[in-house]
A and B are shown apart, each in its own frame.
Chain A
């Protein structure tokens, strides 16, 4: 068997997600991503099932594996109890382990996700932290969000939150000892290793493209080359 297929098949998401795909296309029919992007989960499972080393490598370096929204609608409907969404998670994981993710526009976005959601987890104990969800980056959040951010402390107190406060409650400041435990979990289980891999491979790509760190971040966060969507 090829090296890449062997690595993929060791991932329990792959073992749980791929039993025997009959290529009926039900997953594609129900997939929100397939309607929007040039994306076909049926083809992905087909490619992986071929165990063709070169085809799998192309997949791992492609935009294709980053189109899924992980809603898992495919899991409900697959008549053979496959989980294409889980196979996608396994492919994305392998693409990052091997550093292939920086070869595609959508894959390169992992740095922006690491520096927002990933870093917020360790800094604040939350996947999202209200003071960092700026109106500039989220104009779709509306005029109400602009007003909320302008009045954040007063408004959230009015609504019964405990924003950055001690003790339990909504948006409390997570105690430092809990954040320390979170960090140690990330150290022990490969979370920090994943973060470092994303940073290091992204730095290599930025250098290759002749971009500063800031320019690279802006580019991956905002650029859409327009070739991803269905006609």
Chain B
């Protein structure tokens, strides 16, 4: 598709993203597997951009993963979500920032369903009152945390120490963007750029100097599939879908992948390892994989933070080839160290996938 056509579509799918004053709700999956990404989000928004992003310890899972594993009924999930909204209301906020795409999709779905079924909304209010004594307002604005980083992408670029440019060739890095399915596939108008050509990550890539890779399976699911990953017997589904994406992007020789979903960076990272160890196939250069990043990690790279402060050591696919292309200085000795250089040993090396 020609670029002008895409830009026209993007103009049709814009959403209002408040500048400031958010109630922040964390992601179960991201806290467990990429814990530093949420730390960096708050650091960037609060310390670099002086925004008010509030959180408190009383929020919980939205139960979305349980809902999409079909063990948690709809009314239960709706009431758990209503409790999150009550915490926002009690804290005096009207803008809600979700770190998780599954949550963001569910919040969008739940709010839309309540609009269609006002009696159900009344029932959920009653449920919440009965179970917790709380009352809630529906957020005026619902944003995914990647919407917020998209909104400030030019500020990040202006403050940045690095750009997504290959220092050896002077060319933009080729970046695959993978947008989580539940960001806008269900409700295209809730996402920047809609569902067919979402712009939320592409906009970051362009603002930070990179070049977006357009490949055939760009919109294909990473393969999480909820029950299709959690159950050991089903994981063939998950790896097969990731495999399909990598086979499709391979001819374009991407330098890196950026994601905005909790599960996607995990699966795109770990299944590259599994494919390498099972089949001997690697998709990066010289036996490496293609490094996969969260959008906060890429923003932090651009801003010049220490790679080991943003959690790049917990990736299975080595990130060093990408750091070297950009020209980022880092201390390899610090990679696997704790506070005060405390020794934590080294991870074992995979057989086929090259690591550092």
Q: Which residues from chain A sit less than 8 Å from chain B, CB to CB?
A: 12-13, 16, 32-33, 35-37, 66, 68-73, 75-76, 83, 89, 92-93, 96, 106, 109-110, 112-114, 116-118, 121, 125-130, 133, 137, 140-148, 150-151, 154-161, 166-172, 174-175, 177-179, 181-182, 184-191, 194-195, 198, 220-224, 229
What chain A residues lie within 8 Å of B233 (beta carbons)? 109, 220-224
Give CA–CA (A36, B63) in the complex, Å. 27
Contact: A140 with B273, CB < 8 Å? yes
- On chain B, the residues within 8 Å of A224 by CB distance are 233-234, 236
* A185 with B73, Cβ < 8 A, contacts A66-B227, A175-B57, A224-B233 known: no
A170 to B56 Cα, complex, angstroms: 11
Residues of A within 8 A of B120 (CB): 12
Q: Which residue of B has the minimal Cβ distance to A174?
A: B60
- C-alpha gap A50/B125 in the complex (Å): 36
Residues of B contacting A156 in the complex (Cβ-Cβ under 8 angstroms): 35
Do A175 and B58 contact each other (CB < 8 Å), given the known contacts A66-B227, A113-B231, A155-B344? yes
- Asked if B193 is at the interface (CB within 8 A of a chain A CB), the reply is no
CA separation between A188 and B225, bound complex, in Å?
29
Interface residues of B in 214-254 (CB under 8 A from A): 219-221, 223-228, 230-237, 239-241, 244
Q: Are A72 and B185 in contact (CB under 8 A)?
A: yes
A170-B39 in contact (CB<8A): yes
**Partner-contacting stretch, out of B2-10, B44-52, B74-82:** B74-82
- Residues on B with beta carbons closer than 8 Å to the beta carbon of A189: 73, 75-76, 78-79, 127, 131
Taken together as a complex, chains A and B put the C-alpha atoms of A45 and B157 apart, in Å, by 48
- B71 near A118 with CB under 8 A, answer yes
Interface residues on B, range: 35 or more
| B227 nearest in chain A by CB position | A113
Residues of chain B lying within 8 A (CB to CB) of residue A72: 105, 181-182, 185-186
Find out whether the CB atom of B234 lies under 8 angstroms from the CB atom of A129: no
Tell whether A191 pairs with B76 under 8 Å between CB atoms, given A128-B28, A178-B58, A185-B132.
yes
Please pick, from B68, B72, B228, B338, the residue contacting A194 in the complex, using a CB distance under 8 A: B72
Give the chain A neighbours of B68 by CB distance below 8 A: 70
Q: Across the interface, which residues of A come within 8 angstroms of B130, CB to CB?
A: 188
Are A147 and B64 neighbours in the complex by a CB distance under 8 Å?
no
Answer yes or no: B342 CB below 8 A from chain A CBs. Answer: yes
Residues of A within 8 A of B61 (CB): 121, 125-127
Contact present for B241 and A36 (CB under 8 Å): yes
Question: What distance in Å separates the Cβ of B261 from its nearest Cβ neighbour in chain A?
Answer: 11
Bound-state Cα–Cα, A195 to B73, Å = 10
Q: Is B32 an interface residue (CB 8 A)?
A: yes
B100's nearest neighbour on chain A, judged by CB, is A127
Establish whether residues B347 and A188, one from each chain, have CB atoms under 8 Å apart when the complex forms: no
Cβ of B50 to closest chain A Cβ, rounded Å: 19
Q: With A71-B221, A127-B64, A190-B76 in contact, do A171 and B31 touch (Cβ < 8 Å)?
A: yes
Task: Report B76-94 residues with CB < 8 Å from chain A CB.
Answer: 76, 78-80, 83
Give the nearest-CB partner of A156 in chain B: B35
The docked-state distance in angstroms from the alpha carbon of A92 to that of B67 is: 11
**B residues less than 8 Å from A126 (CB atoms):** 28, 31-32, 60-61
Could you pull out 22 A-B pairs where Cβ atoms are within 8 angstroms? Answer: A12-B116, A32-B221, A68-B225, A69-B223, A69-B224, A69-B225, A73-B185, A73-B220, A112-B231, A113-B69, A117-B69, A118-B71, A121-B66, A127-B63, A133-B32, A140-B235, A140-B271, A144-B347, A185-B80, A188-B79, A189-B75, A194-B72
Closest partner residue, chain B, to A165 (CB atom): B57
- Among B195, B234, B349, contact of A76 (Cβ-Cβ < 8 Å): B195
Q: With A and B bound together, what is the CA distance between A187 and B113 in angstroms?
A: 22
* Interface 1/0 per residue, B176-199 and A, CB below 8 Å: 000001100110100000011000
- Bound-state Cα–Cα, A110 to B71, Å: 7
**CB closest chain-A residue, reference B182:** A72
Question: Closest chain A residue to B87 by CB distance?
Answer: A178
Residues of A within 8 Å of B234, CB to CB, are: 106, 109, 224
Does B323 sit within 8 A of A, measured CB to CB? no
**CB <8 Å contact, B32 and A128:** yes
Shortest CB-to-CB span from A66 to chain B, Å, is: 7
- Partner of A151 from the list B72, B338, B348 (CB cut-off 8 Å) is B338
B165 within 8 A of A: no
A166 → chain B closest CB, angstroms: 8
Q: Is the CB of B73 within 8 A of A93?
A: yes
Residue interface mask B92-119, A partner, CB < 8 A = 1: 0000000000000100000001001100
Determine whether the beta carbon of A147 is less than 8 Å from that of B35: no
A77 to B264, CA, bound (A): 21
- Taking a contact as CB atoms under 8 Å apart, the answer to whether B347 and A146 are in contact is yes
Tell me, yes or no, whether B148 is within 8 Å of chain A by CB: no
* Chain A residue at smallest Cβ distance from B350: A143
1/0 per residue, CB under 8 A from A, across B252-263: the answer is 000000000000
The 8 closest A-B pairs by CB, nearest first: A69-B225, A147-B347, A191-B76, A127-B65, A160-B39, A142-B316, A125-B60, A184-B131
Residues on A with C-beta less than 8 A from B79 are 185, 188-189
Q: Bound state CA distance, A71 and B105, in angstroms?
A: 11
A13: which B residues are within 8 A, CB to CB? Answer: 74
